[in-house]
Amino acid sequence: MGKVTITEDTTKYPITMIGRYAGVCWGANTSDKEKNYLRGLNCIKSEHGRTWEFPDVYSIIDGYSAKVLREWYTHIGCLPSRLQGSTRYIDYSKNGGFKYVTPPTIADNDDALTEWSLMMSDINDMIRRFVDTYKIPVEDATMALPLAYESNMVDKRNFRNIVDMSAQRTCSRAYWEYKNQLMKDYLNALREYSEEWKTLIDMTCKPKCEKTGFCTEKKTCERKPRKGEN
């Protein structure tokens, strides 16, 4: 089971932060926190996206598949940064072997699940044999790790990047682990971090069809009509 932890380096007052820095460039009085908050709300409602780049979110993302983490860090807009669990120094074949994610389509099929579990066990045994018997360096033996193995990441990205990512990754056509687990867990962790983050997430982090009123996907789920359709 994956978990997202928002760390203390993340501001608890992102709306107030946005309003404060926007106020500087507008020549406003930024000493009043309430006015800063209201100014920040206005920046959100007016979609002044440049101001959204000021609040950074620092998080620890743990227990999701390497596959979904690869998709996560392809969202490189607004200069995010991250550190991922090392396959060079960590020997994932030790201490019971690497943990892994099982897709629901496999978990719901008894025969497929049996073969899936055996495959993962065989891969782990192979990695351990290469390291222990053949003295292959861990950084080389772990190249055999499947994308399903559970990994972790230290992640930093700003609010504007999160809004853009949520528009894509809360879409019904997004990859199941991204949509139903990682993205959902990440947004909920921010909601729990502070009231201002809850307000921001509820106002802005939605599927793109809810923002535009129509579907832009070639293969639509038909939740919303295509642009120009009644």
Tell me, yes or no, whether 8 and 81 share the same domain.
yes
What pLDDT, in 10s, does the model give residues 1-16? 899 999 999 999 999 9
Token pair, residue 24, equals 């500087």
Same-domain check for residues 47 and 127: no
Count of beta carbons in the 10 Å neighbourhood of residue 40: 29
Asked whether residue 21 falls in the same domain as residue 74, the answer is yes
148 dihedral zone (left: phi>0; alpha: psi -120 to 50; beta): alpha
Assign 77 to helix, strand or coil.
Answer: coil
Find how far residue 138's CA is from the centre of its chain: 28
CA angle 115, 121, 123 (to 5 degrees): 105
On whether residue 221 sits in a domain, the answer given is: no
The model carries a pTM of 0.91
pLDDT in tens, 120-161: 999 999 999 999 999 999 999 999 999 999 999 999 999 999
Q: Which of 101, 32, 97 lies closest to 69 in space, CA to CA? A: 101
In a domain, 207, yes or no: yes
DSSP H helical ranges for 108-146: 110-132, 138-141
Q: Are residue 34 and residue 109 in the same domain, yes or no?
A: no
Other beta carbons within 10 Å of 155: 21
Q: What is the per-residue pLDDT across 72-116, written as a single tens digit (0 to 9) for each?
A: 987 776 666 777 888 888 898 888 899 999 999 999 999 999 999
CB 36, CB 20: distance < 8 Å: yes
